[in-house]
Amino acid sequence: MNVNKTNPYDVEYHIAEIYDKYETQLHDVKFILELIKKSQCKKILEPFCGTGRILLPIAEKGLKITGIDGSEVMLNQLHKKLKLKPANVGEMVKIIKADLTKYFWPRDYDLIILGGNCLFELSSLEEQELILRKAYNSLNSGGYIFIDNDNIENELPDTWCNLGVENESFPTGVCNDGTVLKGYSKTTYVDKKNKIWRARKRIEVYQNNHLLNEYEWEIQKHPIGYSEIVSIIEKLNLSVINVWNGTQNREKYTSNSNRATFWLQKNNNFS
């Protein structure tokens, strides 16, 4: 079902370092920690955990968390960061390397975190529904799902539809060993109405100002919106406890919101 053959985070091993240099935001982590405290979740699963931006601060609070991710490069970086933490933090963490669309997810969790725009990693609405169904199946009755994404409703905005123009994009930056990565993205296909977007991605790797390597691959995305998430939730035995807009400050979700953060609860079997 997944048309993306390559995990884009595994194309070059410096990508995880660039990711950590630029993705340093903590507002969502703080918000998740507040929700965990209020709901008293004890056993947590974070699919798409990457280098542990969300996972590590949760483990540091003494909470048990399992992270699953398909990228060896991202998970190596997470293992490196974990080694620098006190042993009691490591004891809270279990890490699994797997393609989440194919893997049978472990069960019996109080909270599943689908944070950091991770549904945008997937190539179609079918795949996004599959992930939400797997999250639902991994949850105890009364448990919670946190979903936090940009909100692209109705159709792809014009900013996604600039066909044939190559722009600089992630992963671009300078690594600690002096290696320079230059990432580019060129939109190759757009289905505005069905919100299918494809691009040719490219990375140039430089050392001492010399081009050392170049990699190219294709990706497809389906930028999901509020209504599509609600339509999947309606097929599952989940209640919407809250939906917010915003990143720095969370406000009530409205139809103009450019972010949609869901807090869902799995109903008891008898409800």
CA distances from 89 to 27, 84, 93 (A): 21, 10, 7
Which two tokens mark 39?
A: 């709901």
Pick 39 or 57: Cβ nearer ligand SAM: 57
Segment lying near ligand SAM (by CB under 6 A), choices 82-90, 112-120, 189-197, 255-263: 112-120
Pick 170 or 206: Cβ nearer ligand SAM: 170
Pick 50 or 143: Cβ nearer ligand SAM: 50
181 touches 172 (CB < 8 A): yes
172 touches 183 (CB < 8 A): yes
Letters for 211-250 (x = contact with ligand SAM by CB under 6 A, - = none) are: ----------------------------------------
The binder of ligand SAM chosen from 31, 116, 219, 225 (CB under 6 A) = 116
Give kind and range of the element (H or E) at residue 137.
Answer: helix 125-137
Q: Is residue 115 a contact point for ligand SAM (CB under 6 A)?
A: yes
Which two tokens mark 124?
A: 């179609």
Q: What is the DSSP letter of 9?
A: G
Q: Could you tell me how far CA 245 lies from the centroid of its own chain? A: 17
Segment lying near ligand SAM (by CB under 6 A), choices 96-104, 156-164, 217-225, 247-255: 96-104
**How many residues form the binding site for ligand SAM (CB under 6 A)?**
19
In the bound state, the residue with its beta carbon closest to ligand SAM is 116
Q: Alpha-carbon Rg of the chain, whole angstroms?
A: 19
Q: Is residue 171 a contact point for ligand SAM (CB under 6 A)?
A: no
Residues 214 and 91: their CA atoms lie apart, in Å, by: 39
Q: Is residue 59 a contact point for ligand SAM (CB under 6 A)?
A: no
225 touches 198 (CB < 8 A): no
Residues that bind ligand SAM (CB under 6 A): 7, 9, 23, 48-50, 53-54, 69-71, 74, 99-101, 115-116, 118, 121
